[in-house]
Amino acid sequence: MFWTIFFVCIALWMLGLAVAFGPGVAPLLLILGSILALMNFVFRRTSFGE
């Protein structure tokens, strides 16, 4: 449950960055989003109590 809330907050923060800085920050957000999606996948597979 914690990871879901954490990743939703990160996604909203990245959306806020995209709105604030415009299209120039899009490649950075794509890289960051890919890393977060990979982390989410790995942590979901290894967290057994949730």
Strand ranges in the chain using DSSP code E only, listed in sequence order: none
d(CA 32, CA 20): 17
Task: Choose among 15, 11, 16: nearest CA to 37.
Answer: 11
- State CA 15 to chain mean position distance: 10
pLDDT digits (tens, 9 = 90+) for 21-41: 877 887 888 888 888 888 878
Tokens 């709105």 locate to 19
Whole-number percent of the chain with pLDDT over 70: 84
Given pLDDT bands bounded at 50, 70 and 90, which one contains residue 8? Answer: confident
Taking residues 39-48, report their average pLDDT: 72
**Two structure tokens written together for 9:** 């907050």
